């Protein structure tokens, strides 16, 4: 009896089975994908000779089936596509980094193979064709502002020859800034921002300049990421903290060489973090002092520099409007510096203006500084500060003397109005000289027609004088009509006194005469009414 199958047939079946087994022989490879030293989300992972694909999440982890015939795994992030050769690599755990650096717990980072650390001079001398070809290609496209075409050859040089030339990082930064600005959505923008941050990190690793680069890095991080209007509070706070930290590192390393733009952005971040409750008042004051000292050093060398003058003004304004510059903080800031500040008239004036703006005129520091300023520069402003000082000390004759000195010396109309108003208010409150007070308030209005405070002062003077004017009840009350006229003018010219003026209007309208009183006086509602004596003004009759 013949066998059912010949040896040849059996051998063929065995080969088919073996081949089928070989085709099915697959393994699962796992790993983590990194960009900029961090796990990378949104990376598409594919394998040669495999239909399997995987998209990484925030942990950067991937898992994909490969066959024994798979030569490489391909990683794609937006328009950046990389192949990792795995022929002969039988490991089931393979990590990958777009930047060539894979973090290792407790050991910082390790550099993947294939990185050439020679300089461009060494590479050209060795006639490295790969380097010279890709460098030339990216350079030509870059010079034409064709960044899309320059990107691929640039990447080849950037990843394989990271120490060849610093221009890799300068040009790469410019290209990615352009990509960020032209990106259509925030997922794409954030991916490009991460790439830009990675370029800064790699530049520090291979070319140092850490202090300078941290400043640029922090400035760009805040500029680009804070442009997103859809950030929630936690995201906003996280970005501000990260940018602030980079800028602080830059200032600590660069010291007096810190770029002016870094100082300004640092104070902007300082102010915002303070308002979010993340920094103390003392830290804000310390940051202000630090940035001010650096920009002042620049101004000593270049006193006419518009860049440094503008930077100083911005830094001052950021501190003064931060909410951290209260009396306690200002005095703690300026008191230790007073001996140095008192040698410079401009710095002394600046300090006094800040103290005055924050209503710190009762402090011994304000008194000491006012004395010193008048000694160094007996100007109108210095005389005005001295007048206020003597008011605080209840030395009224000396106060009047300095107010008048300030008024006689001042040429700036707005400041002159301020001095006249304060002297008028002082004489009204302390000496009850109604006519002199009114005349000073009028002078204030002549120099500053929008001085709502001066209009209110005249209204108060007339309201207080009402009991002294005329003989009849109607004559006394007629001054309330005139006072209300001035309160109405005050709120029209100066929105800041609107509430104050309305409060007085509502108070004095209650004292207008009633219809019966006016009838017996032969006066009608709405008619013109002349007020004589030193007042000599016309008002309109109104009933209660």
SS3 content of the chain, % helix, strand, coil (to 5): 65, 10, 25
Q: Which residues share a beta bridge with 63?
A: 30
542 and 454 assigned to the same domain = yes
461 and 406 assigned to the same domain = no
Contact by Cβ (8 Å): 201, 36: yes
Q: Give the mean pLDDT of the chain.
A: 89
Contact by Cβ (8 Å): 522, 491: no
540 and 494 assigned to the same domain = yes
Contact by Cβ (8 Å): 188, 224: no
466 and 431 assigned to the same domain = no
pLDDT at 32: 92
Final residue in a domain of this structure, among 57, 88, 111: 111
Using DSSP's 3-state secondary structure scheme, residue 422 falls into helix
pLDDT at 115: 83
509 and 523 assigned to the same domain = yes
pLDDT, tens digit, for every residue of 29-69?
999 998 877 888 889 999 998 889 999 988 889 999 998 88
386 and 468 assigned to the same domain = no
**How many angstroms separate the CA atoms of 272 and 276, rounded?**
6
Say how many residues make up the chain: 544
Final residue in a domain of this structure, among 446, 464, 499: 446
**How many angstroms separate the CA atoms of 506 and 483, rounded?**
12
- Asked if residue 227 belongs to a domain, the reply is no
**How many angstroms separate the CA atoms of 528 and 540, rounded?**
5
pLDDT at 101: 67
Q: Does position 108 have pLDDT exceeding 70, yes or no?
A: no
pLDDT at 1: 44
Backbone dihedral angles phi then psi of residue 67, each to the nearest 5 degrees: -100, 175
409 and 477 assigned to the same domain = no
pLDDT, tens digit, for every residue of 431-475?
999 999 999 999 999 999 999 999 999 999 999 999 999 988 899
pLDDT, tens digit, for every residue of 328-366?
888 888 888 899 889 988 889 888 888 887 778 888 898
CATH number, position 382: 1.25.40.10
- Asked if residue 415 belongs to a domain, the reply is yes
- Asked if residue 128 belongs to a domain, the reply is no
**How many angstroms separate the CA atoms of 445 and 420, rounded?**
9
Alpha helices (H) along 321-412: 327-334, 338-341, 345-357, 364-376, 380-392, 396-409
DSSP, residue by residue, 104-149: -TTS-EEEPTT-----HHHHHHTT-HHHHHHHHHHHHHHHTT-HHH
**How many angstroms separate the CA atoms of 175 and 191, rounded?**
14
**How many angstroms separate the CA atoms of 267 and 287, rounded?**
7
Q: What is the pTM of this model?
A: 0.58
Mean pLDDT in residue range 264-276: 95
458 and 511 assigned to the same domain = yes
440 and 469 assigned to the same domain = no
Mean pLDDT in residue range 205-223: 96
Tokens (6 digits) for 206: 């291979």
- Asked if residue 493 belongs to a domain, the reply is yes
Give residues with Cβ within 8 angstroms of 373, minimum separation 6.
345, 348, 349, 352, 381, 382, 385
In this structure, how many other beta carbons lie within 10 angstroms of the beta carbon of residue 90? 7
- Asked if residue 102 belongs to a domain, the reply is yes
**How many angstroms separate the CA atoms of 223 and 217, rounded?**
10
Could you say which DSSP state residue 467 is in?
G
Residue in the structure block whose two tokens are 């954030």: 190
pLDDT at 21: 43
- Asked if residue 530 belongs to a domain, the reply is yes
The model's confidence at residue 2, banded by pLDDT at 50, 70 and 90, is very low
What is the number of domains present in the chain?
3
540 and 483 assigned to the same domain = yes
Q: Nearest Cα to 465, choosing from 535, 529, 513?
A: 535
Q: Does position 119 have pLDDT exceeding 90, yes or no?
A: yes
Tokens (6 digits) for 71: 């030569």
Crossing angle of the two packed helices 413-430 and 452-465, in degrees rounded to 10: 20
Tokens (6 digits) for 277: 């409750």
Final residue in a domain of this structure, among 79, 111, 143: 111
Give residues with Cβ within 8 angstroms of 282, minimum separation 6.
329, 332
**How many angstroms separate the CA atoms of 439 and 441, rounded?**
5
Q: Which of 11-20, 245-254, 258-267 has the lowest mean pLDDT?
A: 11-20
Q: Does position 180 have pLDDT exceeding 70, yes or no?
A: yes
- Asked if residue 22 belongs to a domain, the reply is no
Q: Which of 134-143, 155-164, 375-384 has the lowest mean pLDDT?
A: 375-384
439 and 476 assigned to the same domain = no
CATH number, position 62: 2.60.40.1120
**How many angstroms separate the CA atoms of 2 and 11, rounded?**
17
Find the domain containing 65 and state its range.
27-111
Q: Nearest Cα to 112, choosing from 79, 80, 160, 75?
A: 160
544 and 467 assigned to the same domain = yes
- Asked if residue 466 belongs to a domain, the reply is yes
């Amino acid at each position: 009896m013949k066998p059912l199958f010949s040896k040849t047939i059996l051998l063929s079946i065995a080969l088919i089975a073996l081949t089928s087994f070989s085709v099915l022989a697959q393994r699962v490879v796992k790993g983590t994908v990194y960009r900029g030293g961090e796990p990378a989300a949104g990376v598409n992972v594919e394998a040669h000779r495999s239909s399997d694909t995987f998209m990484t999440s925030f942990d950067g982890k991937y898992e994909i089936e490969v066959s024994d015939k798979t030569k490489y795994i391909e990683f794609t992030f937006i328009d950046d596509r990389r192949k990792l050769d795995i022929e002969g690599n039988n490991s089931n755990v393979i990590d990958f980094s777009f930047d060539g650096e894979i973090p290792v717990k407790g050991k910082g980072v390790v550099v993947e193979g294939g990185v050439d650390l020679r300089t461009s001079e060494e590479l050209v001398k060795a006639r490295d064709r790969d380097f010279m070809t890709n460098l030339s290609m990216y350079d030509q496209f870059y010079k034409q502002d064709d960044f899309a075409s320059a990107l691929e050859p640039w990447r080849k040089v950037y990843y394989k020859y990271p120490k060849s030339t610093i221009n890799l990082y300068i040009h790469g930064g410019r290209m990615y800034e352009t990509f960020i600005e032209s990106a259509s959505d925030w997922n794409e923008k954030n991916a490009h921002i991460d790439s830009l941050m990675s370029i800064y990190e790699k530049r520090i690793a291979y070319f140092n300049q850490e202090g300078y680069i941290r400043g640029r890095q922090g400035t760009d991080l805040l500029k680009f990421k804070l442009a997103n209007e859809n950030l929630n509070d936690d995201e906003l706070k996280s970005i501000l903290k990260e940018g602030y930290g980079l800028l602080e590192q830059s200032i600590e390393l660069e010291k007096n060489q810190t770029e002016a733009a870094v100082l300004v952005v640092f104070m902007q971040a300082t102010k915002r973090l303070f308002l979010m409750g993340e920094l103390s008042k003392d830290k804000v004051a310390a940051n202000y002092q630090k940035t001010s000292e650096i920009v002042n050093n620049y101004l000593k060398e270049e006193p006419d520099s518009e860049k440094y003058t503008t930077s100083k003004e911005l830094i001052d304004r950021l501190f003064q409007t931060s909410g951290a510059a209260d009396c306690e903080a200002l005095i703690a800031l300026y008191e230790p510096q007073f001996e140095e500040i008192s040698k410079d008239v401009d710095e002394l004036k600046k300090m006094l203006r800040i103290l005055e703006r924050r209503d710190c005129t009762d402090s011994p520091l304000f008194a000491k500084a006012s004395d010193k300023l008048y000694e160094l520069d007996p100007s109108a402003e210095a005389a005005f500060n001295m007048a206020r000082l003597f008011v605080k000390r209840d030395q009224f004759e000396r106060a009047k003397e300095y107010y008048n000195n300030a008024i006689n010396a001042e040429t700036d109309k707005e400041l002159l109005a301020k001095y006249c108003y304060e002297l008028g208010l002082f004489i009204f409150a302390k000496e009850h000289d109604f006519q002199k007070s009114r005349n000073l308030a009028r002078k204030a209005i002549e120099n500053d027609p929008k001085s709502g405070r001066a209009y209110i002062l005249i209204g108060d003077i007339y309201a207080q004088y009402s009991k002294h004017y005329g003989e009849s009840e109607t004559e006394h009350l007629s001054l309330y009509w005139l006072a209300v006229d001035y309160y109405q003018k005050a709120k029209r010219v100066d929105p800041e006194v609107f509430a104050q003026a309305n409060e007085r209007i509502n108070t004095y309208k209650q004292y207008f005469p009633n219809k019966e009183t006016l009838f017996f006086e032969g006066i009608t509602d709405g008619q013109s009414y002349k007020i004589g004596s030193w007042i000599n003004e016309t008002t309109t009759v109104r009933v209660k």
